[in-house]
C-alpha cells in the first residue's frame, strides 16, 4: 500500500469518532495575543495552491531548538510533512524546519500525550520554563493561563489567543480545568497550560462542546524520564546539515533521510516528496492545469507553488519511476481530506 493510499485509509477511519461542534471556538472567552512569542503553531508543510496556511496544533518553545507539543498532534507525521510557525498569525508567520520528532515512548493514544520537536535552527525568543515542582490538590481552584492558535468565536483560525481557566482536578497524570472565563478547544492541542508562567500541562482534550472542562497532560511527571533527557540530547547534538528542497535533488539516491533535502524522506533508497513514495518536485505552477493534472502544491519550497509529479511514462526522468504510483488526484484528495478531518476529529485527537 502506498503512503498516499494509507493516508486516505487512516483519515477515513477517523470519521467514526465523535466530532467537535464546528461552531465552538478555541480559547473560548479569550483575547487576541500579540505576545507570548515562545508559543508557536504547527502546520502542514504543503497545501493545495491557493489555500491559505492552516494551523493543526499549538506548541511551546522550551529550549532554543526544542518545541513541546501533544503526541497526537504529530503521530503519523514526519519532519517532511510539518513545519513550526512563529508569530501572532499563521498566515504570514515565519516557518521553521524540523529535524526530528520524539514521541513519548509510553504514548498509547491517551496516556503520556507528549512529543518534542527538534528544530533545524535555534529560535531567538526566550523559551518557556517547564514546571519542575509537583502539582498537588492545593492547586485546585487556582488560575491557569492558556495560549493557542485555534478558532475564535467567529470560526477564524490561525490567530494566537490567550485566556484564563480554573483548576478543578489534579490527577496523577493530568490537570483538569473549567472556564474562568476561557477554555481551550480545537487546534489548541499541544499548547501550554501555564501555572505561574511555567508549563504545568500540555493540552490534550476536552468536552465536545468546549464549554465545561479541558484536560492537559501534566509536564512535571514526565520531566525526568522524557523531557529532560530529550532536551539534553538535543543540546548535545548539531543541527542536521540538509540542503533546501529543489527539483534536481528530488529522487536522488539515499541511505538515510539525513542524506535528502529538507521536505523529503528517504524511502526505499530514494528521496521523495511529502513521504509519498513516488513523488518528485516539478516546475512552478498556479493550478493543476499547469501540472498536466498532477498536484499543484504551495509550501514545498521557496517557490509559491510547485508541481508534484507522481507518475512517469517511459524513461524520461519524471517522477521517481516506480511502479504503482498514486495519481495526482489521489494525492490532493489525501491532503485535503486529512486537513478537513483534522478540524473535525474528536476532542482526544485535536482538543
**N-terminal to C-terminal alpha carbon distance within the chain:** 30
Q: Locate cell 518557556: which residue? A: 128
Residue 5 is predicted with a pLDDT of 26
Short-list 147, 121, 171, 192, CA closest to 32: 147
What does the pLDDT read at residue 329?
A: 41
Inter-residue contact 217 to 201 (CB < 8 Å)? yes
**φ, ψ dihedrals at 82, nearest 5°:** -120, 155
| Residue 215, pLDDT score | 96
Tell me the sheet residues that pair with 69: 115
Contact 117/66 with Cβ under 8 angstroms? yes
Helices (H), the chain: 3-13, 228-235, 328-342, 347-350
Q: Are 318 and 349 in contact (CB under 8 A)?
A: no
Would the CA dihedral through 281, 277, 67, 339 be positive or negative?
A: positive
Instruction: Report the candidate in 277, 279, 247 with the shortest Cα–Cα distance to residue 261.
Output: 247
SS3 54: coil
Predicted pLDDT of residue 36 = 94
pLDDT of the chain, 351 residues: tens digit per residue: 223 323 322 222 222 222 333 323 346 567 788 889 999 999 999 889 988 888 999 999 999 999 999 999 999 999 989 999 999 999 889 999 999 999 999 999 999 999 999 999 999 999 999 999 999 999 999 999 999 997 666 666 789 999 999 999 999 999 999 999 988 888 899 999 999 999 999 999 988 788 899 999 999 999 999 999 999 999 999 988 888 877 666 778 889 888 888 888 888 788 888 766 567 878 888 888 888 878 889 988 666 788 887 655 444 444 564 433 334 444 444 444 344 434 333 333 344
pLDDT at 89: 92
The residues near 292 (Cβ < 8 Å, ≥ 6 apart) are: none
Q: Measured between alpha carbons, how far is 114 from 104 in angstroms, rounded to an integer?
A: 6
| CA pair distance 38, 56, nearest whole angstrom | 17
pLDDT of residue 3: 34
What is the helix, strand, coil percentage profile of the chain, to 5? 20, 30, 50
pLDDT for 176 equals: 97
Choose among 258, 276, 327: nearest CA to 100: 258
Amino acid at each position: 500500500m502506498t503512503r498516499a493510499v494509507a493516508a486516505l485509509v487512516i483519515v477515513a477511519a477517523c470519521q467514526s469518532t465523535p466530532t467537535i461542534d464546528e461552531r465552538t471556538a478555541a480559547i473560548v472567552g479569550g483575547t487576541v495575543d500579540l505576545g507570548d512569542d515562545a508559543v508557536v503553531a504547527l502546520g502542514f508543510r504543503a497545501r493545495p495552491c491557493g489555500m491559505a496556511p492552516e494551523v493543526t496544533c499549538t506548541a511551546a518553545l522550551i529550549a532554543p531548538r526544542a518545541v513541546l507539543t501533544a503526541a497526537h498532534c504529530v503521530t503519523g507525521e514526519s519532519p517532511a510533512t510539518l513545519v513550526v510557525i512563529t508569530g501572532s498569525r499563521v498566515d504570514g508567520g515565519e516557518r521553521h524546519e524540523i529535524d526530528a520528532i520524539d514521541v513519548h515512548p509510553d504514548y498509547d493514544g491517551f496516556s503520556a500525550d507528549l512529543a518534542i520537536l527538534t528544530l533545524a535552527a535555534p529560535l531567538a525568543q526566550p523559551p518557556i520554563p517547564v514546571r519542575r515542582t509537583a502539582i498537588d490538590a492545593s492547586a485546585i481552584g487556582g488560575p491557569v493561563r492558556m495560549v493557542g492558535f485555534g478558532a475564535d468565536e467567529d470560526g477564524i483560525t490561525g490567530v494566537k489567543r490567550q485566556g484564563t481557566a480554573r483548576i478543578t482536578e489534579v490527577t496523577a497524570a493530568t490537570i483538569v480545568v473549567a472556564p474562568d472565563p476561557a477554555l481551550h478547544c480545537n487546534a489548541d492541542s499541544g499548547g501550554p497550560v501555564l501555572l505561574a508562567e511555567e508549563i504545568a500541562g500540555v493540552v490534550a482534550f476536552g468536552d465536545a462542546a468546549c464549554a465545561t472542562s479541558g484536560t492537559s497532560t501534566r509536564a512535571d511527571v514526565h520531566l525526568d524520564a522524557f523531557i529532560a533527557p530529550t532536551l539534553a540530547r538535543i543540546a548535545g547534538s548539531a543541527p542536521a546539515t540538509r540542503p533546501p528542497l529543489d527539483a534536481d535533488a528530488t529522487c536522488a539516491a539515499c541511505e538515510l533521510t539525513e542524506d535528502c533535502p529538507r521536505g523529503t524522506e528517504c524511502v526505499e533508497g530514494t528521496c521523495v516528496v511529502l513521504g509519498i513514495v513516488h513523488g518528485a518536485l516539478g516546475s512552478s505552477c498556479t493550478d493543476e492545469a499547469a501540472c498536466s493534472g498532477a498536484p499543484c502544491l504551495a509550501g514545498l519550497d521557496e517557490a509559491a507553488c510547485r508541481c508534484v509529479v507522481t507518475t512517469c511514462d517511459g524513461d524520461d526522468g519524471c517522477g521517481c519511476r516506480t511502479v504503482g504510483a498514486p495519481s495526482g488526484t489521489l494525492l490532493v484528495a489525501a491532503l485535503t481530506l486529512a486537513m478537513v478531518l483534522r478540524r473535525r476529529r474528536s476532542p482526544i485527537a485535536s482538543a
